[in-house]
Structure 1
Amino acid sequence: MNVLAVLIPVSLILGGVGLAAFVWSMRASQYEDLEGARHRVLSDDHDDRPLP
């Protein structure tokens, strides 16, 4: 029973940290350009890779 007294607050704190990270990412516009990310993944343009 004493384990629950530790695990419940720890899980609530971790859930709050995850929620805060999600809210921060939404406010920082991390999900604005989903179409551009989709096209960048599929493009064959590899200018950042050094030539062999």
Structure 2
Amino acid sequence: MTDFFYLIPISIVLGLLGLLVFLWTLRNGQYDDLDGAAERLLYEEDVPRNDRPH
């Protein structure tokens, strides 16, 4: 029973820490352009590498 007195505050602190990190990422614009990276991957021009021997 005394373990709950340690586990409950630890879980609350970890939950608040996760919430603060999530809010920090929202404020810094980490989720502004979710589709941009996927579209850039599809439409990039392929350039052959010249450093590989044939």
| TM bucket, shorter chain | 0.7 to 0.9
The aligned counterpart of 1:15 is 15
Q: Which amino acid aligns with 1:33?
A: D
Q: Deviations over 1:5-49 (max 9, x none)?
A: 0000000000000000000000000001111122244466678xx
Runs of 5+ consecutive residues of structure 1 not aligned to the other structure: none
Higher Cα Rg, which structure: 2
TM-score by length of 1: 0.74
Corresponding position: 1:27 with 2:13: no
**Displaced runs of 4+ in structure 1, greater than 3 A?**
40-47
Q: 1:8 to 1:39 in 2, by over 3 A?
A: same
Cα RMSD (Å): 2.2
Runs of 5+ consecutive residues of structure 2 not aligned to the other structure: none
Structure having the larger proportion of residues in helix: 1
